[in-house]
A and B are shown apart, each in its own frame.
Chain A
């Protein structure tokens, strides 16, 4: 792999940019790997990367039925934050956020991490108390957040309307080190680094079956032939249930569509991320100037990747009250992603009933921010059999009634 640097740019500028090589290879699958990861989204690629970087395991294949980063990694609103209430969540999300800070340097790939700050608006009395509690919890967890007054919110976001009448802004939970990143670049950067370590990223390779012997995984059947493995990691978000079915176990997961939309580009007007969870809406401004708006999840299971119209209507209606100046913006694009939601709205990073199969799913509406932390922990889980970041997120926690009940997540906004 040739390093990207200012010298590389200068060198290529002098020879008509003919020397850039492909960022990652497209090899033919081998007969067998030590570890196969299913799903080349952010989480899958990050897992492979940390398997190589932290544990020296590089005989790894990442299989992807579509194209790399083409699922939810390319369909989210790119928000990164770690202001969670429960300790296990705060641990993994804060690990993730801190890894994001240096990820561009680690990967030698500009992921455009922008720690521009995230405000979560308190718009009801309950939310106000909830966020004050979260701010205290974060102080104990070592996550830097602050509960701020409505006036301070107005100073940070001048375009906001505090008065309501339906959704007055009463205060906010402010995390200054939270922000956004370029979502595709995260997947591309990890893919390039994995490929440089000699791992195989195999696109257009759909897993159609999982072979087992004596309760142990032996490999997968794909549309490009059978591939053997010692360990298998399923990191497929919305389709986790589908793959678990192939492996013969069930998951406490339901898949729903979550949608987002972007406006036409306008001049800079908001330099942080604002989340309004009461009304299921959140907004930031991209570097291109588009207002990126995320909405709520659909009210029923589906795999449609588009989402229902009335949810968009609700989100936009509420955001217009809070941000009157966006009322006349035209919307350019709208899309949906399939999110896998668990009973307690927290992810599953776990061993499974089948020996050698590990599962990383259930990130629901907030997976993007967790990519580096999830990869870090899941790689450790797959390599060593346990990981302090993942131990609380086992599949057995629901059975044991040991929920990680994230009211902050609430199956809504991330």
Chain B
């Protein structure tokens, strides 16, 4: 069971208090974009075996969205940060690198 801390209200809770909302840091493509961009935004996902960046919502708490870095193999939570962040912050990347040397964060188009 995941134990995570909401960066918005500071509460620490287990996973049933929260809800996952899909991959984070997707670049949005709307009307006027090319078909390729729109398809990528809608359907292509990283689905990594390792560090995954994903949106979560504190459903039974403050109700805010935030982003969490989590390992899909060990289920280790690397940390959480506010949803308004455009790419993973340095301290989270360092924590991932410590566990998964050579790891790189790929830009998700």
Write the residues of chain A forming the contact surface with B, with a CB cutoff of 8 angstroms: 239, 241-242, 250-255, 299-304, 308-310, 343, 398-399
Contacts and interface: CB of A to CB of B under 8 A. Distances in A.
Contacts of B74: 304
A252 B22 CA distance: 13
Contact of B49 (A242, A308, A309, A399): A242
Interface string B26-57: 00000000010001001111011100101000
Contact of A301 (B15, B19, B43, B47): B47
Contacts of B73: 302-304
A324 to B, nearest CB: 25
A310 B44 contact: no
A302 B47 contact: no
Contacts of B1: 308-310
Given A300-B70, A302-B75, A309-B1, A254 B39 contact: no
Interface of B: 1, 15-16, 19-20, 35, 39, 42-45, 47-49, 52, 54, 70, 72-75
A398 B39 CA distance: 8
A362 to B, nearest CB: 11
Given A299-B19, A398-B39, A253 B75 contact: no
Could you say which of A253, A299, A301, A304 has the most chain B C-beta atoms within 10 Å of its C-beta? Answer: A301
B17 to A, nearest CB: 11
B52 to A, nearest CB: 6
Contact of A302 (B19, B42, B72): B72
A252 B43 contact: yes
A73 B1 CA distance: 26
Given A301-B72, A302-B75, A399-B39, 4 more contacts: A250-B44, A302-B72, A304-B73, A308-B15
A304 B19 CA distance: 19
A292 B15 CA distance: 27
A309 B70 CA distance: 18
B49 to A, nearest CB: 5
Contacts of B47: 241, 251, 253-255, 301
Contacts of A343: 42-43
A299 B44 CA distance: 19
Contacts of A253: 45, 47
Contacts of B16: 310
B72 A399 contact: no
Contacts of B54: 300-301
